[in-house]
Chains A and B, each alone.
Chain A
Amino acid sequence: MNFDLSEEQEMLQETVRNFLENECPATTLREIFDGDTGFSESLWKGMAEMGLAGLHLPEEHGGAGLEILDLAIVSEVLGYMGTPGPFVGHALAGLAIATGGSDAQKKKWLAALATGDAIGTVALAEEGGAWLPDQWSLEGGSLTGSKNHVLFAEQADVIVVGVAGGGLALVEKDASGIEIKDIDSADRTRRLCQVSFADTPSEALPEGEAAGTQLRDVALVLLAADAFGGASRLIEMSVEYAKTREQFGVTIGHFQALKHQLANMAVEVEPARGLYWYAAHAMDHVHDESERTAAVAKAHITDRYMQVARDAVEAHGGIGFTWECDVQIWFKRAMFDRAWMGTPALHRERAAVMAGW
């Protein structure tokens, strides 16, 4: 019985965190957040050199061959640090090709994705919040239609597109008829685009349906992990503020109203660590529980994150409401984690159906 991270996993988290503290400190994060693209070439290259771009991809294709749990604990650190960039979409695109692709497709893409020389993303959502494989209606083959909320489509070399029937298809960056439109994204660390296709050639993944459901569940796990990291960070920021800000001659952390609010935030978040761990572990080891646990984890933890973010703004008072205060960066990441791949309500209803309720 060992429901805990291994020493190697703890070291992985520490290494990633140290790297980000050096390479993407608050000032750099702020520049990227306020910048035009939300993307930093040098930060991405650095993350890729650490092996983060291909952490979960097979070793024969240049990846590190690690498990979903390893990917998730990195996602927690990125959430904690508020790291900008295409990590989530890239990880999911690589996973889809590794699981559902033909030998030729794997050969063509995985090595480049594993080194980060090529960037991948996923195009899933359609109008009306149709995020899930059984909701996709874009017909495969020659694509005509559009996908919403595609992460960093501008930077992507390959897009994994969800198609009618729950399968997946590959579209290359310079394919004909493709049009990318930036969306004014709330979360400026994870920029979104609308991608339109007009008779755009695509290449189906032979095992696309299996890859599609796996992609959905892993996406939910990564968002849950990111949310846990981000929520933990907001609590730390709020506690720190309560220990330094003075009013009525004492630090405001003396006041029980605030102390209790901060305690409530901690109590909402701290127990959720094991929930995302288990959901990630289940992806590789407890297959009959993985789909439902991923749904519960995403719904629960992203909801906690959003509430903690609201509380954090309140705990910071007036400054918390400003663009200048870093709380807003995590607040908007909470908005992303909560809504991307579907709201908590959607996944709670799925969990209810899966329980036979």
Chain B
Amino acid sequence: MDLSYGEELEGYRDEVAKFLGENWPLQGEEAALGWVEQATVFRERAIAAGYLCRNIPKSYGGSEQEPNVLKAQIIREEFGKLQAPTEPRGIGTMMLVPTLLERGEEWQKQKFVPPTIKGEMAWCQGYSEPGSGSDLASLKTRGELVGDEWVINGQKIWTSGAKTADYMFCLTRTEPEQSKHAGISYLLIDMKQPGIDVRPLRQMTGGADFCEVFFDDVRTPKDWIVGQRGEGWLVSRTTLKHERNSIGSTQQTRALFAGLVALAKQSKIDGKPAIEDPGIRQRLAAVEGYVTAHHHSGYRTLTKDAKGESPGNITMMNKLISTNIGHDIARLAMDLIGDNGLLGPGARSMAGMMGGTEGWISQYMYSLGIAVAGGTANIQRNVIGERALGLPRDAAAERSSGK
């Protein structure tokens, strides 16, 4: 066990720090640009230096580096210190680009990957439907080949960023005569065309982070399909070997916990700082046990990834673990803010989550959104039970998948 990065990697850290010292923040005229333009200028330099888009080939605008999770971690740490721009966030870089690199046609990679990783092309994900949540493969949105075009009709829901997206990658039922998983294709759709109606969904927080998307004879070219017809389910499950950020979520959790401790110091119970209350101290320390365990668990995963070994079942558990911690922190925060828990969540976005009372009310609600998004906690428990612990599959799910 050795928790230092060692001489070679510390040398690498110095290189990264030197690059950042010379390149961020931008100087002179460039410093007057807007944030988006600044980020674009900086990203090009960071890619040229080999620090961003490391797993993307040079021919598609990446820096094509040997995978190295420890170097990737050092880059995140050093960039994080100066809040320098990293790869554009969003579903395009996270989901579509890896999928295209693994399964896409050459022309698709050339057309879509470079602008997406530069942040010039925004994507949304068309998976869930009103009747198809946990049972996603039952989706009904139809795609029919008419001449050289797919004609798409149906509805998607929980679509983050649909208002601003240029394109959608969309699971579509194109082979209705096939069994449910085998009837789905992975289509790319231009969002700026007639027949697409995007309606924001108002959340319990009052904000609107995602939308419903309605398709009425929406068209996309015949070859805007990733993989073959009927392979969409498999394509959507593509994961590329990449530099997994195994401690990203644990760092967020630690930051949230630090915010909770700060809140306990500011809040009062019977006129005294809440942090002096024995019950509050017990609960804080109990939550800290989970936060600290999750933190070290992240470093173990990082080590396993660096060695090219499997971290084991923990990777299937991380979502539920961070969800549980989020609930604990939110509940304790609501007890700390007391009467202010009667107020609405003034802060209507994730931004400002850490500050003030409104932020904690928002966090109290958002922690539930996180518990549901991307597979509910109960679905996570199924996955852990069946794949990690080897328990038998649910009988209904088994029948429905035709296996």
Contact = CB atoms under 8 A, between A and B. Distances in A.
B265 to A, nearest CB: 8
Contacts of B328: none
Nearest to A236: B389
A239 interface: yes
A1 interface: yes
A324 interface: no
A271 B391 contact: no
Contact of B285 (A3, A6, A242, A352): A352
A23 B320 CA distance: 39
A216 interface: no
A1 B391 contact: no
Contacts of A3: 1, 3, 296, 299-300, 302-303
Contacts of B320: 263, 267
Most buried by A among B261, B286, B393: B286
B249 to A, nearest CB: 12
Contacts of A4: 1, 300, 303-304, 307
A259 B391 contact: yes
Interface residues of A, number: 49
Interface stretch (A42-50, A127-135, A248-256): A248-256
A245 interface: no
B297 A274 contact: yes
Contact of B390 (A239, A271, A275, A344): A239
Contacts of A270: 297, 313-314, 317
B284 A274 contact: no
B3 A299 contact: no
Given A3-B299, A242-B391, A251-B392, A300 B290 contact: yes
Interface stretch (B167-175, B190-198, B274-282, B352-360): B274-282
Interface stretch (B16-24, B117-125, B380-388): B380-388
Interface in A254-285: 254, 256, 259-260, 262-264, 266-267, 270-275, 277-278, 281, 285
A253 B391 contact: yes
A296 interface: yes
Given A271-B317, A348-B285, A259 B382 contact: yes
Most buried by B among A239, A271, A297: A271
A25 to B, nearest CB: 24
B63 to A, nearest CB: 22
Judged by DSSP, the binding face of B is helix
Contacts of A297: 289
A264 B385 CA distance: 9
A254 B313 contact: no
B27 interface: no
Contacts of A285: 1, 3
A14 interface: no
A277 B1 contact: yes
Nearest to A298: B289
A243 interface: yes
A349 B380 CA distance: 33
Interface string A214-254: 00000000000000000000010001001100000011011
A48 B231 CA distance: 60
Nearest to A282: B3
A186 interface: no
A277 B284 contact: no
B4 A271 contact: no
B343 interface: no
A345 B1 contact: no
A183 B194 CA distance: 82
Given A1-B6, A275-B292, A348-B282, 18 more contacts: A1-B9, A2-B2, A3-B296, A3-B300, A3-B303, A239-B390, A243-B392, A260-B381, A263-B389, A270-B314, A270-B317, A271-B297, A281-B1, A285-B3, A299-B285, A303-B289, A351-B285, A351-B288
A-B pairs, 8 with minimum CB distance: A300-B289, A274-B296, A348-B285, A259-B385, A263-B384, A271-B297, A253-B391, A263-B381
21 contacts: A1-B5, A2-B1, A2-B2, A3-B299, A4-B304, A5-B1, A235-B389, A242-B391, A243-B390, A250-B392, A254-B392, A259-B386, A260-B378, A263-B380, A267-B320, A270-B313, A273-B300, A274-B299, A293-B292, A297-B289, A303-B289
